[in-house]
A and B are shown apart, each in its own frame.
Chain A
């Protein structure tokens, strides 16, 4: 069935898709969002780690390979709101150095834009959805910008207890910026600090898409079609323009949605899968793939976790799943001797019983039962996110296996190189020093398989079709009415949590699309 043509079809109703929908619907465009998962609403967000799994991926799986397979299901979204429905809403920025790694260090890539191009959009996003933090305190590491609209969040003993150790090891910590309300903001209530953020915040204190951009988009007339799985992006016969998308609706009936512009916002692994599966005789390698880089340069952060058991009750049930303190002190790319890459250090977060159990995965039986009792009172943690350099071998490919709609499954191959492993180890050593200097009775590193966090790359931005898939706005170099949004367009990843930058880049891209509409529509 072919549906009436619309101005914009957005594939994916998560963080980036919601921003595009809001900006374009407010600009008077007829917008349709196609989302593979359900239409989650605030009342679905039950305060339970068990029930919270309903908002984790359940569609066609991404097959995982490599030495360090990506923790895909824990990270990805499924349904309206996407991963931003269960994200931690940590809102650190990239720093200027992240945009010029090639120029400064002759490694990886430069972005085709600078920090200064993105900075106004960081400030705009903060005003739009609300950020709590202390911008002045951050400016020891980054250029000045606007103050955040809300003061920092409360801190708790599970974070404060590490300050002594950080000071002793020469690491200044400042209040972490978060997309949560420390005070009432725009009619949304302040946070209650009960730590259920990661299963979805139903009260509106955390800025998920449902109550921010997507809510605005719906008010402006955008239509959300849930349980609709896009399988191909369609082109005209000459291969010069996108004409729409093919998708299967909730009844598994095939539909065609024609549109003047298509935005792929289905996260870093699914966007390449769609582009590769949309190959035609004019685009034999897949759409927007003249460079051969669709699906390439997939990146993830490695996470160095340090756990500490204290004599005192650190009240680890209080707080948010986001963090209370952060530091860019080890962010300079050569901060650790002999190792390359940025590190982003955080401390102070609420723990649930699953976290307590995971903190000592080797324990079981009565020993675990005893440990859980102690951990419930005395456990706290430090984390350091580490940057991996883009590697063309880390990639998404199509496989011969098919999903229920006959679309090839995607395979994500990911391995950390020796440098990334060395950086992870350096961060673990740093964490242990801090924990011991904080007076921990016991402190240990979470070793074993290297945890991955966030997924970036696969459709990187650059200056031309020879070195990248899209330009700095997310527009395809080859097909002007095809746009890609989300962390997939990052050419390097930095070390800080990416969602604030995703929002900012999406705001920038969507405003560009609206301003250039006359050159895009047909």
Chain B
């Protein structure tokens, strides 16, 4: 899938620059403090809550009405430990708080959000925010968890010592934010005249002083601070164990990919049957021949062949969101740091790269959490090599047509194993490319430090999980209905016009524009074993990888008659050699078959150069890989 992952509606920045407008309240806090959950509770906005530091990449804005009837605008800012920004994410937080962003009104009130069971670093941030000189209040979130762990916080004492109003909140519970709402009302009731922000980047001595002050406050107002959550300790004994932890990580990845392949099958069959039935219905309708062909072969078969992969995408996102919300992602980064470091990647690159298994676009956007520019560029370069969900339709089609569905070693499906191998090839390719890039482009520098908080495990909220999955499923369906549908129509036109002359022999598509294009580039692709039908499918596949499946369906359906659309795979098995199928799989591992990904790379790196570098290195890798696979397979007798 190529659609952006971030599902929060881009609310227009309301013009609070002049006149009598809604007051602006900004949420600032450490990563993992439950800030996004609080934002959801305040605004009812739909977006995801996660545990990995820095997941709140986009700026999020919502509206709410306070109990006193005041309409206010709430901004959810990226998590940070300090206004001393080190990444593009944290720069946004700093600039909004300080009123430096021209497009954003300076917040009238800053709410410093803190995890009540993990106050120490948050208090230092609160002290820094207080120095800015704007109205501020401290909201102690997840008070229920803190209480359960026996942590007692004297809110009044803390408030007096800190010189800032302090309220408690439980974002995930109904009524858990009433005190906060009341305090917001009170604070907005008597706003002082806006003073210019008073802040400079603190040096080490100032930071140290602030942390000592925070520790003093902690001692004053909090009892029983500091114990490690027993559940987290027990789980980490296994999850972070040097050997067991890595084995568990591999097992999780393996189960994930087996599940994507096996669990989705019954539902996929249902969807496929439904589209076949619908196609047959339209096929027998009393319509002009050309229109009937357009609806049945162009629209229904085309869109159906993509929508059928919805169950797999839902399962993949279920796993990714679940692991994120649990707090496992930061652990995975810890386990992978050394292994990825060997290939020249930063441990923090693990999350963006794992997201890229769903779609490279959110993955590339998630690289904003990597502080160092060069580490970030390397990650962006290799992110498209991770097997995104848009490749699944192509892989599935070819695997089910060419790989026998049987078990090996008694319990592992051979088809699932091949799928796993394709994923592995993408990962190894990415590691190799980053290894080379690190040495080619920037060999002299020591790598950026890996420093990351490992948050306590949290039970995922089913509602937030469901919202996250459904938003992504909707994004996929929307793409199937817009971009993909229009590409399908284009393919149908290319494959249907010009119509064959009267009395011509052979299938009609042989006379079409599609055939001309396919034939024209055949000399280049012949070495890879690609026939002109594949070439035709690859061209619209640039808009979205999965379109190639629908395109093959359209091409072969028109070519081979009505029943072929139902069983594209069977037709392919009859038309292609095994060598061709394997070469196409190899091509798909590496090929830059996605215009949206390239566009995002251009945007995130701010340069055409890196987009071009990505496109050409991937194209070269794909060609060479497909060439080697095809020629080897032919030599071994699979031609």
A binds B: no
Binding site for B on A (CB under 8 A): none
